Amino acid sequence: MKGYLKTIMILLVFTIVITGLLGFRGIPFQTAAIVDGGNVEKELVGNLPMEDVVEDLQELPDGFEDNFHEGSYEDLVKEDLQEKDEDTVENEDVKVAYLTFDDGPSPKITPQILDILKDYDIKATFFVIGDLAEKYPDILLRIHSEGHLIANHTYSHNYKHIYSHPKKLIAELEKTDELFTSILGSQYKRSSFMRFPGGSFGEKLKPFRQAVTAAGYINIDWNVVNGDAEGNNVSPEKQLKRLQETLQNKREAVILMHDSNTKQTTVDALPDLIEYIMSQGYVFEILDESNF
């Protein structure tokens, strides 16, 4: 009997010892699961293929391991998406004004416009005529060096020539691009934007629009005017009125103006035009190919 009891006691003690050892071995892993991000990741990914595991771990947000105890990965993703949604809503409320100047550069007007833009810290887009850039390369260099966008407005601006055949138009655009590079240097990155002299409106110019697109250009017309194309000495007051009539709270306003030598009143009007546009909640940007 004593031998039987002794055997039972030995088995009981052995069982307790083994159970304790097994329980003790489990504790470090559970603690590591909270502290060690590597073990957390193993728990999260489960039995996914290794390629998927690597890809998923690379996409974990910064601070994931440090913040794991504060919430789940799904919570972090939801917070990130909410932040992006908030950014999107804010961006949707932004109104953008693109100041564009055609028919320069000119030695009398363009420098004055550049001075005003510099005072307001505004960047604009200049649709430059190649022939004039060739005559006034120093002004083209200044436009570029001050951070404005240089876009193509053909070489000659001669309606009869460029609209005689689509090939003539493309040839002038390419000639002007080559000229820009020769003046601005090989590091100059060509813009794809161009503007038809007089605009690309109308069925007759459809073959020309198609040719321009096929050649890799982005044609930009306008949806707001200051009216300085309606005469050589359009008063600043009339220019402001025309701007107000055509701006009309547009979300994206591509504003047509001119910097040819006969446009002194455009220079005179420009500060008031800028002030009005700012008062309507617009921000100023250069044309961006990703938006058109």
Catalytic residue among 148, 153, 157, 258: 258
Catalytic, out of 85, 102, 115, 144: 102
Q: In whole angstroms, what is the distance from residue 223 CA to residue 247 CA?
A: 8
**272 included as an active-site residue:** no
- In angstroms, the CA 174 to CA 68 distance is 58
Regarding beta strands 282-284 and 95-104, do their DSSP bridges make them parallel or antiparallel, or are they unpaired? Answer: parallel
Active-site residue flag, 102: yes
- Annotated catalytic residues are 102, 258
